[in-house]
Amino acid sequence: MPRVTLQTIADALGVSRSTVSNAYNKPDQLTQELRERILAEATKLGYAGPDAAARSLRSGKTGAIGLLFTESLPYAFSDPYAVGFLTGLAEVAERHGTSLLLVPVDTGLGGTPEADLERAVRQAVVDGFCLYCVDESHPAVDIIRARGLPMVATYPPKDPHLRSVGIDDEAAAFKAGEHLARLGHERIGVVMDRWFGIRPFPPLDLEGPTPIQQVIDLAPGEESTFRLRGYRKALPDADIMVTTAERNSRAAGAVAVEELIDQRCRSTAILAVSDVIAFGVIDALRQRGLTPGQDLSVVGFDDVPQAAEFGLTTIRQPMVDRGRMVGRMLLEPDTIAERQVRLPTELVVRTSTGPRPS
């Protein structure tokens, strides 16, 4: 059976091909009666509608943006920070009639093999990409550059020409450390995701609690060390030890903090690089009959919705606004003059912090 095209329908009705095309793409240029006749004939002939790929080739636009991120697909819908970011990005995309294509990239946790990743990024039918915690040195970024597509990062890039939306991590972490300094804390633990800000390989593997300066020296310039430097500057005389959670999860946070709270001279305060890890820290304390804010202080980072329920002192960063700004940079680039936007942060004090125990 011959393939049904716009011309087939036009010949059947005795109208021009452009008139049939307008029934799908510019319905306001036809009378309601004529459009209904065209659609009825198309249905009768078994025509499913104009080919989306062909239409995108003609217009130069696909009507979709790609989101590269370094976790499995379920993570994008379970991590509260990722959900907030996606909410803001989706708001802008919906306003522009644009779809989102999620492309998880391999971090060594059983993710996408490199060959499949390259194929997915090379063949993705999108108008641009958001790099969600994907470092600019990742091979996927070279593919995007080769395709000539715009991209926006969610971290401070080394390349001044790469557009980005982020925060001043060092200044934000300084606020958290300064808060603990005012409360008199001098023995402090930091719990970070071993993959946080280390893009691509290798992950940060620490054999037990490690002095903070040694960790900073391991990965200078990475996003994770920005926060460590902020903690160090706020607490220059404190004894600060760093340990790593296997990944950014509540369960991993509970396991990672054990050495910091069970050792003989344990920390009096814990700084977590995310609220999710901080929730795990609080779980570990409660399992031992310890009270956050009294026996040991806990500070998170992000201020996700659940933080208030935990009474978690944390650094608030604008998750939804960050997603919105990335969306605007990709879909409304002419409305934003800055190439690298920095959003404000705020220390939110709740009951999980208190004076150093005597």
Average pLDDT per run of 10 along the chain, which is 358 residues long? 82 91 82 90 80 48 84 81 95 93 67 63 87 83 86 88 93 98 96 65 68 83 80 96 90 92 84 96 96 97 97 97 96 90 97 94
**Which tokens hold the place of 114?**
């490199």
**Which tokens hold the place of 252?**
């991993």
pTM of the model: 0.80
What percentage of the chain has pLDDT greater than the value 90? Answer: 53
pLDDT of the residue at 106: 59
Is residue 119 within 8 A of residue 112, CB to CB? The reply is: no
pLDDT of the residue at 201: 38
Listing DSSP states for 83-147 in one string gives HHHHHHHHHHHHHTT-EEEEEE---SSS---HHHHHHHHHH---S-EEEES--TTSHHHHHHHHH
pLDDT of the residue at 272: 97
pLDDT of the residue at 122: 80
Which domains are delineated in the chain? 6-50 (1.10.260.40), 64-166 (3.40.50.2300), 169-318+343-348 (3.40.50.2300)
